[in-house]
Every structure is written in C-alpha cells, then in structure tokens.
Amino acid sequence: YQAKEGGGNVAAYDSTRDAASTDQLALLAELREALEVDDQLVLALQPAVDLATGAPTGVEALIRWRHPRRGWLSPVEFIRPVENSEQLGTFTRYVLDKALAVAAGWAREGLDIPISVNLSARSLLDPRLPGEIADALRRHQVPAHRLVLEITETVVMSELEIIDEVLATLRSMGVQLAVDDFGTGFSSLTFLTRIAVDELKVDRSFVIRMAESPEAAAIVRTTVGLAHELGLRVVAEGVETAEQRLALAELGCTAAQGYHFFKPMPADKIGAVLGTLLDRARPNVFPLRADGAS
C-alpha cells in the first residue's frame, strides 16, 4: 500500500507482493489441512424463489472457510489462490461432495429441489471432471438433473475446445448448466451459441443499478427476454429491496435470489425454510376437481 502512495517505489512494491504471496502459500498449506479435517470448509445455502409464487426454484451452495485462527473467510478471500494451485481438483470434488450430500437429504425427504454449485472455469479444463461428477451423483443417489453447475463466461480462448467438450459431456449426463454473473464476461452472447445452457443468472451489478440507470434496466430486460426466447430459466442475483423485486417482476423476470428473500444460511437451517416455502406456495384451496382426482 505504501508503494502506491509513494509513487513507484519498486522495492517496497515487491516486498508487499512477496509478503502477499507468502501469505497465500501459508493459506494453501492450511487449505490442504482443511480439506482433510472435517467441518472447516462448510457450505452456506441460499434459496432462489419464484417471484410469482414464492416457491423455491433452487438452492445455491456457497463455500465458507471456518479458519481456526483467521476466523470466517469468504470465498473471495481464498478462491483465487485455490484456482491457481494444484489443489483445485480436490477442492472442487470436496464442494461437489458436500453439496450432493445435502441434495441427497432433500431427495430422502421427497423435496424435488435442485442444488447449484459454483465451478471455477479452470476446473473445466480437467477432462476427468465429468466422470468424477457421475461417480459422486451415483454415490449420493442424486439424479443428474438435480445438480446445476454455475459457470462464468470468462474463459481463455485457447482453452475453449476442452471446456466445451467437458460441458457437453456434463450436459449429456443430464446435469444442468447455468451462466453465472451473466453480462459481465467478455463473450456473453457468443458463449450461448457454443454451449447449451439451462439458466442465466443476471449479475447483481445490474440489479443494483436498475432504478437509476436506464442502461442497467435495459440489460436486465434484454437478458430476461433472451432467456425466454431461448427457453432458459432466468434468476436475478443480489435482490436486496422490495423495489428491486417489483421492478424485476415488471421486467418479466420470474425468479430471484438475494438478501431480500434469504441470506445464505447453514445447512441445518435450510430444510425447514424449504418446507415452509413449499407449504406457503402450495395453493391452499380445494382440489381442482371435486372428486379430488386432479
């Protein structure tokens, strides 16, 4: 930090960076432990809801690190170094395994709700990934369509072929794909012509600015229209206010996620929340036909 204020003090800048990378190395060593010891890396779960009925449309798994000394770490504090390390594969398998264990619990309770898992673009470069996901689905006895993989559009051009093949294999297995942070990548629209996806997630940055920025509102409206035209689901991210919720509904958006509805919550809370949402959304009227055989 000093280096920036001092205006180009190269030595100071380098030592700051060294300190930062030493810290990252320590973090990665600690992550290796965390992946072996249980309950340091935990999933927070955040439902997305149907704007018309309030019914849950899915639940996103968001990783948190309960670090023994550093306290709770958010993914923005450790995902980048993990992505650039050889631990990415282990980390990805860990998250998928935890998420599918949660989904298996829902399946046992008869809840038909998909779970969304965020994948680092780099993990899509590993051709073993689809096989590993198939194994995990089988192990947890979760049907493939209950798993949604969230991916961002930002991938390096030279690697497109491998990634496309991995994604096509996953899709042929029945796993669903969602484009996360839609509209913020470099190749948003081209991406859709290369890969068949099931869902678009409108980035929070557009939702936040909708009210005061006609451009942001137009991007939301256009994304919603595009999704409808392509037969895809669309979910608005980061909805924090009732005004945003109403504006989204007016723009034709059908589902949303954000603090206005639920903050990410611990796994032991989610079951009860989903139960309540489903009960409330169930039309509490008489059966459609008088004989009850609707």
Q: From 120, 117, 97, 223, select the one nearest 176 (Cα to Cα).
A: 117
Q: Which of residues 16-55 bind ligand C2E (CB under 6 A)?
A: 46
Q: What is the Cα–Cα distance from 196 to 168, expressed in whole angstroms?
A: 8
Among the residue ranges 89-97, 114-122, 138-146, 272-280, the one whose residues contact Mg ion (CB under 5 A): 114-122
Q: How far is the CB of 25 from ligand C2E (least distance, A)?
A: 20
Binder among 30, 48, 59, 118 for ligand C2E (CB under 6 A): 118
Site for ligand C2E, residues 225 to 264, rule: CB under 6 A:
237-240, 258-259, 264
Residue 30 binds Mg ion (CB under 5 A): no
Subset of residues 131 to 160 that bind ligand C2E, contact rule: CB under 6 A: 150
Residue 264 has φ and ψ, to the nearest 5°, of: -55, 135
Strands 176-182 and 147-151: parallel
Q: How far apart are CA 35 and CA 80, in angstroms?
A: 16
Q: Report residue 77: phi and psi, to 5°.
A: -85, -15
Residue 84 touching ligand C2E (CB under 6 A): no
Concatenated DSSP letters of 269-292: HHHHHHHHHHHHHS--S--SSTTS
Q: Which residue has the tokens 């631990």?
A: 87
Question: Does residue 118 touch Mg ion according to CB under 5 A?
Answer: yes
Tokens of 143: 């049907």
Which among ligand C2E, Mg ion, none contacts residue 74 (Cβ within 5 to 8 A by kind)? ligand C2E
Indicate which of Mg ion, ligand C2E, none lies near residue 166 (CB less than 5 to 8 Å, by partner kind): none
Q: Does 198 bind Mg ion (CB under 5 A)?
A: no
Residues in contact with ligand C2E by the rule CB under 6 A? 46, 62-63, 74-76, 79, 95, 118-120, 150, 180-181, 237-240, 258-259, 264
